[in-house]
Amino acid sequence: MMASPPLLWPAAPQATRILYLARYAPDDPIYTVKPEGMISGYAEYHFRIYEALRSIGYDVASSSKPYAALVAGGNVDFVFSLLNRMPLRNPELLVPAICTYLRLPCLGAPPNIRALAEDKFLSKLAFAALGLPVAPGRVYLPGTRCEPPDFAGPYFVKDRFGAASESITEASLQDSWEGAARIVGDLHANGKEALVERFCPGIDVTVPVLAHTPYLVLGHVAPRSDKIGGILTADLKTDDRLGNELIDLDTATTAAIEQDVRTIWAALGPIDYFRLDYRWDPATGQRFLIEMNICCYLGARGAFGLAGERHGYDRTQMVAHVVEYSLARQRGARPHESWVI
């Protein structure tokens, strides 16, 4: 393996004022891990990212409240937001949109790219238009007729906008349309739009990508599953009892994924860091791109933690890198624009 390129590190971190936003971010004056009431580990994860930002030397303010972004203009230089679970549709877009209005650099990507990535159906259409391999799928809106799609099963049913495998259970995989329609109805009963895809046999493979010169594919990681079809359910994501493992793909698949990343970067980049999720069949070598995640998990046992470690990168180094890359990406952006009002 070739030597990995060095990551960015701030020369004067104390000169950069950062607003850190996350559901379990510390709120003044109590800067400790918050009680979570569940076993997902997000409270500790959010606190560890806060600790990483502080250990780098940045001047960090922290809040779990989205309205903190509204008063950030002129008070901070950068918003590091992991605040993406709020009781509104497409909550991942709120903070980036506010920051765009305030002309305040924000982690991730512009709001339009975030919106595309968060919509599992629109991103599928975009990937297909770019010539990438995707499984056929169809959206079912609440209140509309639940007729069979124009592709055969088995079917996989999920929330069109679900994060962290939310709403996915073993029942999400159905052999018949009758079974799939029942799961669609369950999602509709909870006010959610359903995305039905043709199920792809094989295993989940996630590909963490770090922006660099222009980007660095860190590796290939397989989330372990003991469920039928090897699917990744919400409970597996919640307690992470099986974890992830680094895997090696065949040469042809590795090259094909590299080309996928190149294609996506050319169309949607630059993005500070992101993850592509595939279904890959080791028996046939077939791959299907399922979705794209921006500002995704940076935990030590996640895809970025495992793959980054192989390159000699720890979490703190990667956090510093994405902040410095993002600041450089957005410095002086669109100075010609002026407010109409």
Residue 13 banded pLDDT, cuts 50, 70, 90: very high
Domains 13-108 and 115-134+200-326 share a fold: no
Residue 87 is predicted with a pLDDT of 64
Read off the pLDDT of residues 276-328 as tens digits, 9 standing for 90 and up: 999 999 999 999 999 999 999 998 888 999 999 999 999 999 999 999 999 99
Give buried/exposed letters for 43-73 (b at 16+ CB in 10 A, else e): bebbbbbbbbbbebebebbbbbebebbeebe
**Which pairing describes strands 59-63 and 17-21: parallel, antiparallel, or unpaired?**
parallel
Q: How far apart are CA 313 and CA 85, in angstroms?
A: 28
Read off the pLDDT of residues 74-93 as tens digits, 9 standing for 90 and up: 899 999 999 876 666 777 88
The CATH homologous superfamily of the domain defined by 115-134+200-326: ATP-grasp fold, B domain (3.30.470.20)
Domain extent listing, the chain = 13-108, 115-134+200-326, 137-198
Q: In the chain, what is the greatest distance between 2 CA atoms, to the nearest angstrom? A: 60
Read off the pLDDT of residues 63-76 as tens digits, 9 standing for 90 and up: 999 889 999 988 99
CATH assignment of 13-108?
3.40.50.20
Read off the pLDDT of residues 152-204 as tens digits, 9 standing for 90 and up: 989 999 999 987 667 778 888 999 999 999 999 999 999 999 999 999 999 99
Higher pLDDT, 96 or 242: 96
CATH assignment of 137-198?
3.30.1490
Q: How far apart are CA 102 and CA 332, in angstroms?
A: 13
Residue 84 is predicted with a pLDDT of 78
Read off the pLDDT of residues 205-247 as tens digits, 9 standing for 90 and up: 999 999 999 999 999 999 876 667 667 666 666 556 667 789 9
Q: How far apart are CA 288 and CA 76, in angstroms?
A: 41
Q: How far apart are CA 244 and CA 272, in angstroms?
A: 23
The terminus-to-terminus CA distance of the chain in angstroms comes to 55
Phi, psi of 196 (to 5 degrees): -105, 125
**CA separation, residue 130 to residues 263, 267, 278, 287 (Å):** 7, 8, 16, 15
Q: How far apart are CA 227 and CA 168, in angstroms?
A: 11
Residue 337 banded pLDDT, cuts 50, 70, 90: low
